[in-house]
Amino acid sequence: ILNVEQSPQSLHVQEGDSTNFTCSFPSSNFYALHWYRWETAKSPEALFVMTLNGDEKKKGRISATLNTKEGYSYLYIKGSQPEDSATYLCSCRDMRFGAGTRLTVKP
Amino acid sequence: NAGVTQTPKFQVLKTGQSMTLQCAQDMNHEYMSWYRQDPGMGLRLIHYSVGAGITDQGEVPNGYNVSRSTTEDFPLRLLSAAPSQTSVYFCASSSSYNNEKLFFGSGTQLSVL
């Protein structure tokens, strides 16, 4: 993997569903992995910065894991709510971003 | 605490015009950067700076210039606007390159006719 890649591109879930999505990145020369939440018509806001292999971070119903050896991070949302609807971005090498996963939570 | 202040919020230019997007931060951050956001492409890095007097190119630098004469300010200049530069532009800053979270400005919606 040469760049930061995110999957899926978009996701539609029902309120109350748990969901997860993936950020893949080059495993060589790893510094840090960032997750951001970006609501429509607003600016991206940082969720997590992860630096260590095996790291797990949690903020409320949102958590993230990191595997630097294989070059991926998962973001999990437990019991999705309509207010979780946003684009979730990850950033890795050289502060460059993936294209994001657009999450829509239907009431 | 103002954080990252970006101006203007909206701008319409004609092809060939020049303009400067302003970005200022009051957090004494060393790292500052400019991104553009286009549909389906997330945020793409235009230029960045790791400190006053130091700038470098990102993924899509063509058609843009930057300078960093002070820690606080990082203006982005469009030399001769083109319709392909129609986009939403975000300025961001961080206390260090790579390892600390970015703080974003509110964005500038630019249309080039």
Per-residue model confidence as pLDDT tens digits over B7-43: 999 999 999 999 999 999 999 999 999 999 998 788 9
Alpha helices by DSSP H, listed for A2-105, are none
Across chain A, what does the average pLDDT equal? 92
Contact between B102 and A32 using a beta-carbon 8 Å cutoff: no
pLDDT of residue A77: 97
Contact between B42 and A34 using a beta-carbon 8 Å cutoff: no
Q: How close, in Å, is residue B81 to chain A by CA atoms? A: 24
pLDDT of residue B2: 75
CB within 8 Å of A93: residues ≥ 6 apart? A4, A25, A26, A29, A30, A31, B98
Instruction: Please tell me the number of Cα atoms within 13 Å of B34 on its side-chain side.
Output: 30
pLDDT of residue A30: 84
> Are the C-beta atoms of A102 and A11 separated by less than 8 Å?
yes
Q: What is the pLDDT of residues B87-106, one digit of tens each?
A: 999 999 999 877 789 999 99
Q: What is the pLDDT of residues A80-107, one digit of tens each?
A: 999 999 999 999 867 789 999 999 999 9
Q: Rounded to 10 degrees, what is the CA torsion of B88, B92, B97, B102?
A: -100
Q: How close, in Å, is residue A94 to chain B by CA atoms? A: 6
**Residue written as token pair 């500052």:** B32
Please name which of B50, B34, B29 lies closest in space to residue B87, comparing C-alpha atoms: B34
> Are the C-beta atoms of A13 and B60 separated by less than 8 Å?
no
pLDDT of residue A57: 96
Of A31, A93, A96, the CB nearest to B99: A31
- Smallest CA–CA distance from B38 into chain A, residue: A99
pLDDT of residue A95: 72
Q: With cut-offs at 50, 70 and 90, classify the pLDDT of residue A55.
A: very high
Percent of all residues in chain A with a pLDDT value above 90, rounded to a whole number: 82
Report d(CA A107, CA A60) in Å as an integer.
20
Backbone angles phi, psi at A63, to 5 degrees: -140, 165
Q: Which chain A residues are within 8 Å of B36, Cβ to Cβ?
A: none
Of A9, A46, A98, the CB nearest to B102: A46
Contact between B104 and A45 using a beta-carbon 8 Å cutoff: yes
CB within 8 Å of A61: residues ≥ 6 apart? A77, A78, A79, A80, A81, A84
pLDDT higher than threshold 90 for residue A44? yes
Contact between B98 and A45 using a beta-carbon 8 Å cutoff: no
Q: CB of A36 within 8 Å of any CB in chain B?
A: yes
